[in-house]
Structure 1
Amino acid sequence: MTAPKRLPPWHEHFRLPSGRELLIRPIRPEDAGPIQGAFNLLGPEEIRQRFLYALKELTPEMAQRLSHPDPQTEFALVAAEPLPPGEALVGAVARASIVPRTREAEYAILVSHFIAGQGLGRHLMRKLVKWARSKKLDRLYGDVLDSNQPMLQLAASLGFKRMREHDSNGLVRVVLDLNDGP
């Protein structure tokens, strides 16, 4: 009997309650095209909640930048069809970026409404926390629209604390102290 094929680091199969099988893996340069193409499938509210303002298109330059994270300071995962990068439809992107000259990272997650509400955002957030801890950071934070209740509830359930910024324009900063327990 042969052993199951072992996946590379940060790769895993994830089955949604709907039965759809996804592959969670680090973003690849080949994902730029599919991410840019899938942007048109997002609704205006999804875009506003992630980018914090209306964005009409994801330019090739933006997609290129997103799909080429600096391995020293950035981490980005996708949840995609189990097809080769460049061919797979990407349903979610989660990223964290270390703030220069700090021991903090800022996170951002976008899960398409086609697969939202099935536990994927929680799973991806846990992966970002794990990465931030592996980098020995002190804090992981994100700026969330105060109208984005699903993300605020998710963050709170994972131990993030709410901190309203001065002049926040409807934004809430959620912060996880990475030195507090597991």
Structure 2
Amino acid sequence: MARRNRMPPWHEHVRLANGRDLLIRPIRPEDAGPMQAAFTLLEPDEIRQRFLHPMKELSRQQAEQLTRPDPRRDFALVAAEPLPPGEALVGAVARISIHDDGREAEFAILVSHYINGMGLGRHLMRRLVRWAKGRKVQRVYGHVLESNLPMQALAASLGFRREATPEAGLVRVVLDLPPPKPKAASLPSLPSETDGAKT
């Protein structure tokens, strides 16, 4: 996957290994309709891996909730066709939400099977972690089905550790983020030889 051109913050063009061009950008309210349309193209196992339970459709209300993240605590990216929001087909969604305590944030990623296996999930995960670091989050985690071995392998390759959960069939992957480095205090300037000298 190659990147090209400089874009506004959190916007970037990428070219996948199959030659397809995508635009990664923050999710927009206009994406609700295309997300509903893309949902019908997903396989049942893809839906279960993302939502952790079967779903027959993505309702308008659910789509609007997904496309209107709270800027104070949520961040969501889509990988879509390089067309205006509302017209572009959405092929992947990555979302992270900070808890009320400000210390932990939960992520979720869905990459369509049409563009899966080309490094896009890794790329999106790194963007979510980068955003979390900027918000001084201490821990990023996600719940993954035990059967979703590719997602578990991806998380492990990025430094996530695996934890057991009380819920059968689920595992929790956790990444502890290093605390932000304190800014180095500037040293006071030394007086010059002429400072305080009488003229």
Scaled by the length of structure 2, the TM-score of the pair is 0.86
* Secondary structure in structure 2 of the residue aligned to 1:127: helix
Residues 13, 23 of structure 2: 8 Å contact kept: yes
What does residue 90 of structure 1 align with? 90
The residue type equivalent to 1:27 in the other structure is I
Structure with the greater alpha carbon radius of gyration = 2
Which has the higher relative contact order, 1 or 2, with Cα contacts under 8 A spaced 6 or more apart? 1
Q: Find the aligned partners of 2:179 and 2:103 in 1 and give their Cα distance.
A: 15
Assess if the C-alpha contact under 8 Å between 2:163 and 2:173 holds in 1: yes
Deviation at 1:180, TM superposition (A): 7.5
Counterpart for residue 125 of structure 1: 125
Matches within 5 A, 1:1-182: 6-165=6-165, 167-179=166-178
Q: Deviations for 1:66-114, whole angstroms, at most 9, x for unmatched residues?
A: 0000111000000000000000000000000001224110000000000
Q: One-letter code of the match for 1:106?
A: E
Maintained 8 Å contact 2:11/2:24: yes
Take 1:180 and 1:97, find their aligned partners in 2: how far apart are those partners?
A: 19
What runs of 5+ residues in structure 1 fail to find an aligned partner? Answer: none
Contact 2:6-2:12 at 8 Å conserved across structures = no
Residues in 2 aligned to 1:14 and 1:150: alpha-carbon distance in whole angstroms: 22
Equivalence for 2:195? none
2: CA distance, partners of 1:76 / 1:36: 16
Unaligned stretches of 5+ residues in structure 2: 181-199
Task: Answer with 95-104 or 9-18: which moved more.
Answer: 95-104
Q: Name the aligned partner's letter for residue 158 of structure 1.
A: L
Letter in structure 1 aligned against 2:51: F
1:5, 1:164 → 2: CA distance? 42
Report the Cα offset of residue 7 of structure 1: 1.6
Equivalent position amino acid for 1:128 in 2 = L
Give the secondary-structure state (helix, strand or coil) at the position aligned to 1:37: helix
Which letter does structure 2 place at the counterpart of 1:35?
A: M
CA distance in 2, matches of 1:105, 1:32: 23
Secondary structure of the residue aligned to 1:105 is: strand
Letter in 2 for 1:67: T
Equivalent pairs counted in the alignment come to 178
Question: Which runs of structure 1 show a deviation greater than 6 angstroms over 4 or more consecutive aligned residues?
Answer: none
